[in-house]
Structure 1
Amino acid sequence: MSRKKIFNGKRLKTARMYRGKTIDVLANETKINKKDILAFEEDKYKPVVENVMKLSNTLNFPKEYFFQNDDIRVTIENTHIRPESPIPRVEEISYKEKIVMTHKIISFIESYIQFPAINLPDNLSKYDDMETLATKMRRHWGLGDGPIGNMVTLLEVNGISISSMNVEKRGAVSFTQKQSIDRNSRYLVCLGNDRKSATIRNFDLAYELAYIVSVEAGIPSKRFSKEEFACAFLLPKETFFEDLGKAHELEDYVELKKKWIVPISAMILRAYQLEVINYKKYMYLMREMEKQGWLKKEPLDENIKATNPALLKKSVEMLIDNNIMSGTELVDNLANCGLNLYPDDIENLLGLKDKMLSPKNSYKRDNVTKVNFKKKK
């Protein structure tokens, strides 16, 4: 005899926050009394079938999702969202729910594919100055003192997961969470709306790396200048100092931008930090940038294209290309683990092509042997 499925109020709250809706908004859209919705979320009583369908359709979650329990439990240890973020609070909450869901999907995929382990120095200290911390990171990752053209790949190969789910959302900023599943911690970074510019993306990821370094070094985030660290990490003191000898006017920084793949505003700030220019010169250059509209859109931003996150996308492609499971089977297997989502949501979270997980892109399996990539070297 099959066991009757019971509506899970916590799932309703998660779905509502995932979609960035308040109870008032959801009540207005579904025509369900907001007191009833709150009661559903608190499991005080269960919705009738008609209301379940209204909630499912409005929130765009399969109705089965609301009758599942969480097989994969994620603990959020730390969250970093820039204080100047212009997005409403309800959208911030939505981003956090989506990155938690991303981690759950990664955890499932790790049953088949070994992701890079987190690779951070164990000698970061709260007593280190910013230059020392930046140098320790570069030395640990074997970067030398030249430009870093691709922060995306650098972070991914060193065990930091990156999602591109927000790159098309106006006003979205990059953010980072430290999460754990079964006490195994992972940092997950979500890109913002950086206009797909390599220079902006590099700086944003260096800024998020600063948050990670502050956590690992035990430095309170409010006492850690993430902008200063990002400049020191991307523009090493000795080598960038030499290049600054050629930079006198604003146009000279445009040429440096081609080499260092860093925003002009960050290079000017770094020049001031290194005392190559004084405060008066710094303010002059920033005023010139404002006059030319460069504070909103710098030269070369559209010419130097950013690298997209690849690790999550490639992991799914490996599952499909090696006939381990089709796109449809991936969706079904996630549902069996309590992650009953529509394919387009999974595609968005993992940066997959549209319709990649739809039935027409599925593969037939004939006597397929499961491959465990963890055992492959």
Structure 2
Amino acid sequence: MEQLWELTHALEKRVQLPLVNLPGFTGGEVHPGVDLPADPVGAARELRRFWNLGDGPVKHLARRLESHGLVVVAPSGADHAAAKVDAFSSAGLLRPMVVLTPNRADDVLRYRFSAAHELGHLVLHSSSTGDSRQEREADAFAAEFLTPQKSLRPLLPERIDLSRLAVLSQTWGVSVSSLIYRYREFGLVSDATISRAYQRLRALSTQPGFAPEPVRGYPGEQPVMLRRAFELAASDTGLTIRELAHELAWKPSRVRELLGMPDTRPVLRLL
């Protein structure tokens, strides 16, 4: 996170990034001092209204966060220290920051929920301590932000029908598992019915429509703001990766990784 801030600051000296448009965030530039409701569901509904998202699915979530001034990265390199972390964020800097770890890159729907979960932390919690209450609140925010009750409730079949939920999953960009949990949150079925549905879902986990799909197949979910800021600085001032790495005292490979720029060098393979 510290490196992400250093990189962002170095680029902002050369390129004006989108203004921070996140009500409740202390560094907000578009809505400074405007607070969202304290309850997760209310906050999610109000933020959708602020961002003019309507009542439908949220497409291209990572890009949308960036368009409102949030810095989002999804580094490709393995980080053993974050092996059990899907994502993390920081509200203590001049820009809200979200890091989506590689752990969920093979499941775009869980990746999207993780991004919405961190958005919930940013608007609900001045500092994220990771305690169970905060995690539940961020989950509740993410569920309502991605699948508003007003819109989703009329679409859910009266009985849990996994094939129909798979279609809704693709439409709304959330997992079937998440949709089943919404039944519980809406009080539509018993806990025993929920348990049986999860059992059936596990048996279908490798079938088309239920198997995870990697993020690389969804360009709108891949962050681009920092890479495009670098490209703009490069075209305007001639900035190079090597110069930026020298300024930051990093290895060029680390700069490319956080910018989301693949290493284009050919790979030598020895048999």
Q: Please indicate the TM-score interval, normalised by the length of the shorter structure.
A: 0.7 to 0.9
Residues 272-287 of structure 1: pairs in structure 2 closer than 5 A: 272-287=184-199
Deviation (angstroms), 1:169: 5.4
Q: Quick one: distance in 1 between partners of 2:158 and 2:125?
A: 37
Q: CA RMSD in A?
A: 2.9
- Ranges of 4+ aligned residues in structure 1 off by more than 6 Å: 217-220
Distance 1:300 1:200, change over 3 A: same
5+ residue gaps, structure 1: 1-98, 357-377
Q: Are 2:92 and 2:127, in contact at CA under 8 Å, matched by a contact in 1?
A: no
Q: Are 1:167 and 1:196, in contact at CA under 8 Å, matched by a contact in 2?
A: no
Larger radius of gyration: 1
Deviation (angstroms), 1:212: 1.0
User: Which of 152, 155, 177 is equivalent to 2:62?
Assistant: 152
Residues 57-136 of structure 1: pairs in structure 2 closer than 5 A: 99-121=1-23, 122-126=34-38, 129-136=39-46
- When structure 1 is superposed on structure 2, of 203-212 and 217-226 the one drifting more is 217-226
Q: Are 1:264 and 1:298, in contact at CA under 8 Å, matched by a contact in 2?
A: no
Distance 1:117 1:219, change over 3 A: farther
Q: Paired residue for 2:269?
A: none
Q: Quick one: distance in 2 between partners of 1:100 and 1:177?
A: 10
Deviation (angstroms), 1:327: 3.1
Q: Secondary structure at the match of 1:345?
A: helix
2:76 is the alignment partner of 1:174: no
2:151 is the alignment partner of 1:242: no
Distance 1:196 1:312, change over 3 A: farther
State the structure with bigger RCO (CA 8 A, min sep 6), 1 or 2: 2
Q: Quick one: distance in 1 between partners of 2:90 and 2:76?
A: 15
Q: Quick one: distance in 2 between partners of 1:217 and 1:140?
A: 23
Q: Paired residue for 2:210?
A: 299
Q: Quick one: distance in 2 between partners of 1:103 and 1:278?
A: 46
Distance 1:321 1:197, change over 3 A: farther
Deviation (angstroms), 1:301: 2.5
Q: Secondary structure at the match of 1:299?
A: coil
2:242 is the alignment partner of 1:328: yes
User: Which of 94, 99, 114 is equivalent to 1:204?
Assistant: 114
Deviation (angstroms), 1:261: 0.9
Q: Quick one: distance in 2 between partners of 1:342 and 1:317?
A: 18
Q: Secondary structure at the match of 1:322?
A: helix
Residue deviations 1:98-122, cap 9 Å, x none?
Answer: x201211211111111112221222
Q: How many residue pairs get matched?
A: 246
Q: Secondary structure at the match of 1:124?
A: coil
Residue deviations 1:113-141, cap 9 Å, x none?
Answer: 11122212223233xx3321110110011
Q: Secondary structure at the match of 2:96?
A: strand
Q: Secondary structure at the match of 1:330?
A: helix
Q: Secondary structure at the match of 2:111?
A: helix
2:47 is the alignment partner of 1:137: yes
Q: Quick one: distance in 1 between partners of 2:36 and 2:152?
A: 23
Distance 1:303 1:212, change over 3 A: closer
Q: Paired residue for 2:258?
A: 349
Amino acid in structure 2 at the alignment position of 1:115: L
Query: What TM-score comes out, normalization by structure 1 length?
Result: 0.59
Q: Are 2:62 and 2:223, in contact at CA under 8 Å, matched by a contact in 1?
A: yes
Q: Are 1:149 and 1:202, in contact at CA under 8 Å, matched by a contact in 2?
A: no
Q: Quick one: distance in 2 between partners of 1:317 and 1:111?
A: 14
Distance 1:264 1:167, change over 3 A: farther
Q: Secondary structure at the match of 1:190?
A: strand
Deviation (angstroms), 1:149: 2.1
Residue deviations 1:294-350, cap 9 Å, x none?
Answer: 7xx972522773321100111111122334323333333x1xxxx211100111122
Q: Quick one: distance in 1 between partners of 2:128 and 2:89?
A: 16
Deviation (angstroms), 1:247: 6.0
Q: Quick one: distance in 1 between partners of 2:253 and 2:16?
A: 24
Q: Secondary structure at the match of 1:179?
A: coil
Q: Paired residue for 1:312?
A: 226
Q: Quick one: distance in 1 between partners of 2:71 and 2:145?
A: 19
Q: Are 1:173 and 1:191, in contact at CA under 8 Å, matched by a contact in 2?
A: yes
Q: Paired residue for 1:28?
A: none
